Structure 1
Amino acid sequence: MGHTVLLLLLLLLSLGVCAVHCADGHTLRYLITRIFSPTPGLPIYTVYAYIDDFKCGKYNSDTRRAQFLIPLNESLIAIPQKVLAEHMETQTKSAQELEITERDQMEFIMGFLNKTYDNGGSPVYQRRLVCELNEDGTTGGYENIAYNGKEIIALDKEKVVYVSVTQEALVMMDQWNKRYDYATVIKIYMENECIQNMKLYLHYFSAYTKRKVHPKVKISSSESDRGRKLHCWVYGFYPRDVEVKWIKNERDEIYSEESAEILPNPDGTYQIRVSVEVTPEEGATYSCHVDHSSLENPLVVPFESSNRNMLYLLIGGTALLVLALFALGIFIYKRRKSKGLGSGQNRSNDMNLLQLQK
């Protein structure tokens, strides 16, 4: 039970970070997670780095090495490999030091809040550090800390101090700021080193992020209270922007009452599902239209109803049955004909034998 709760918690927190997209600039995000006790399949300590909403790097307590998450030969452009190697070595050392610091921070929080924020399993500590590079060249960022899925501490950049987000965490903030006097250091890091790292990663991933991947489409349907619901699942496409709509009778757009969200996939591509309610009409046709920068022309995928599919199967089955019966008829006819010829020959032979005997 505790293991299941922990996995769900980590998944939700991870999705909450990578699903955010910066439309007017770029972001570099670090999602840091520490669990209290060993859990099968999960490192005690992990760090994931995201450029905008793409997971680009990681570090964990099992390997204790920082690494990029896409092949070097696909996007190594005008950056000497020695520079990248030195950078990753620096990131590795920083993460190793941070791993020790955040173990201490987690134990500190547990001493105050373990009874208040019990997730029914192993305690989970999370820290999110984000720096932002706006389109006009200005920078920004934020930092917050969560415990068992609930945000409890945030960095106040104006006052350069950590503040409590919940009433329960208020009791420990004075001691926290005295013990972990990192607010000034983090603010300087956000505005300088973090931005430099972002620019390096953006250059490093430039070829990868400029790639175009064609979308795949799957159509399905389900029964609903008002008739039938049609689903158009578009997945595996890159870049992110895509237009998906349902069209009736090749001309009328059907508007969806559900908000469709573009979600990231682990491989860096995206997916979206657009669903609409329809009332079945005789002779009406429905199709999903997908427009994406990787396509020369919009992709049109028609919806084939189950009744129509059954009709096609029935027609096909009937045709096969007719062909089978026709072939069987020819076979029987030839068989009977060959038997008839054989019997006539035997009778002729018998008559000749009788004449000779006479």
Structure 2
Amino acid sequence: MSNFAILLFSFGFLAVYCRSHILHYHVTLVSPPITGVPEFSVIMYVDDVPHGKYNSDTHQAEAFSPSPKALSEHLQKQTKYAQQYEVWQWRRMKFLMEFYNKTKGDGHIHVYQRKVACELHDDGTIGGYLEIAFDGKEFLVFDKKRVVYVPVTREAVMVSHLWNKLYDTTYSKMYMEVDCIEHIRIYLPFILTDLEKKVLPKVKVSSSESESGTKLHCWVYGFYPRDVEVKWIKNGRDEIYSEESAEILPNPDGTYQIRVSVEVTPEEGATYSCHVDHSSLEKTMVVPFEINRSSRRHCCSYASVFVVGLAVVFIYIYTHAKHKRLKPAHKVPFHT
């Protein structure tokens, strides 16, 4: 899986203009198949936030969060289009595999990617771009003015000539300037509501014992939007850094969750607390964690009772044995 990640090239997001909106479609094809990774997938972002997806496992266009009924017909149309689009993009992938003579299989994973983006500015003007990469290297970009694909590298010059001959370049321009912009206008009323929505986080703290000490866990869940900062603080001022990387995960209801764990050696008098910063909060939420000393006291008291009990038994056995040794032996009659 790590090799797959290395092959992907970074699609950096453009800065969002003031009161402007940008829609991205990220398309990925993988050959040969990898367990747990769809061969074909599309992720749709609006203003850098993922809102829709389609892949070869489900063959269904879906929203990341529950979509309103008003979008159900649109999603059905997008499903049909995505199914046809999947066929078109596999043809392009096969072309590249043949061009680079990789059809027989060379033991490597090959990745084909497209990113299509359109922008709708507050003054009504539009923009957009299209980039294509193969095996982690960008090699073609779309020139909207000339309506052709142009090479990014020398190796891509021949590919660009063939690409412009084989595939309809006017469709790419029409999609960016018409269909994509229409989709932004469809999604914005729903997305703006989501962007303004704020849901307070819920927090639970707990602990578990490990070989090297005690592990403190801070589970923050049910919050929206996604961005959040969670950290453990000792004695109200010292941050405890975690060796585990914490990942923000989506919930089925459209909210998010994260769990931050740290390893500590409890000290007498030390305090520990989980600090949460989120846009829905007026100030940092501080959730204290108390080391459960009562359970330790119980353990110690139980151990003390057990030791005292053993001592009593031992004293009794020792005294009884000593008493038997000191008692005169009973004389047995001698028989002749």
- 1:26 corresponds to which of 17, 21, 31: 21
CA deviation after TM superposition for structure 1 residue 178, in Å: 2.4
Does residue 1:200 correspond to 2:186, yes or no? yes
2:65 corresponding residue in structure 1: 70
Does residue 1:177 correspond to 2:164, yes or no? yes
- 2:151 corresponds to which of 161, 164, 170: 164
Does residue 1:127 correspond to 2:123, yes or no? no
State whether residues 19 and 264 of structure 1, in contact with CA within 8 Å, keep that contact through their aligned partners in structure 2. no
1:99 corresponding residue in structure 2: 86
AA paired with 1:242? Answer: V
AA paired with 1:9? Answer: A
State whether residues 18 and 54 of structure 1, in contact with CA within 8 Å, keep that contact through their aligned partners in structure 2. no
Which digits, 9 at most, give the CA deviation of each residue in 1:76-135, with x for residues without a partner?
4xx4x6xx41x33432332233222212211221223356xx984342222121223345
State whether residues 222 and 255 of structure 2, in contact with CA within 8 Å, keep that contact through their aligned partners in structure 1. yes
Work out the CA distance in 2 between the residues paired with 1:119 and 1:295.
53
Work out the CA distance in 2 between the residues paired with 1:218 and 1:53.
31
CA deviation after TM superposition for structure 1 residue 69, in Å: 4.1
State whether residues 18 and 53 of structure 1, in contact with CA within 8 Å, keep that contact through their aligned partners in structure 2. no
CA deviation after TM superposition for structure 1 residue 197, in Å: 0.8
State whether residues 203 and 287 of structure 2, in contact with CA within 8 Å, keep that contact through their aligned partners in structure 1. no
Does residue 1:288 correspond to 2:274, yes or no? yes
Work out the CA distance in 2 between the residues paired with 1:285 and 1:265.
31
Distance 1:254 1:92, change over 3 A: closer
Unmatched segments (≥5 aa) in structure 1: 222-228, 333-358
AA paired with 1:316? Answer: H
Which digits, 9 at most, give the CA deviation of each residue in 1:265-311, with x for residues without a partner?
475545678899x9x9985545332132444663213466xxx66x6
Aligned residues: 301
Work out the CA distance in 2 between the residues paired with 1:23 and 1:262.
28
Work out the CA distance in 2 between the residues paired with 1:193 and 1:61.
23
2:46 corresponding residue in structure 1: 51
Work out the CA distance in 1 between the residues paired with 2:206 and 2:21.
34
Work out the CA distance in 2 between the residues paired with 1:135 and 1:255.
44
Work out the CA distance in 1 between the residues paired with 2:106 and 2:286.
46
1:315 corresponding residue in structure 2: 297
Does residue 1:9 correspond to 2:1, yes or no? no
Distance 1:123 1:28, change over 3 A: same
Q: Secondary structure at the match of 1:192?
A: helix
> By percentage of residues, which structure has more helix?
1
Work out the CA distance in 2 between the residues paired with 1:171 and 1:234.
53
State whether residues 5 and 120 of structure 1, in contact with CA within 8 Å, keep that contact through their aligned partners in structure 2. no
Q: Secondary structure at the match of 2:141?
A: strand
Distance 1:42 1:108, change over 3 A: same
Unmatched segments (≥5 aa) in structure 2: 209-214, 314-336
User: How is 1:238-277 mapped onto 2 (pairs within 5 angstroms)?
Assistant: 238-244=224-230, 249-250=235-236, 252=237, 265=250, 268-270=254-256
Work out the CA distance in 1 between the residues paired with 2:14 and 2:294.
45
Work out the CA distance in 2 between the residues paired with 1:120 and 1:235.
42
Distance 1:248 1:41, change over 3 A: closer
Q: TM-score when scaled to structure 1?
A: 0.62
Distance 1:319 1:291, change over 3 A: same
Work out the CA distance in 2 between the residues paired with 1:23 and 1:275.
37
Work out the CA distance in 2 between the residues paired with 1:269 and 1:236.
5
Work out the CA distance in 2 between the residues paired with 1:5 and 1:120.
15
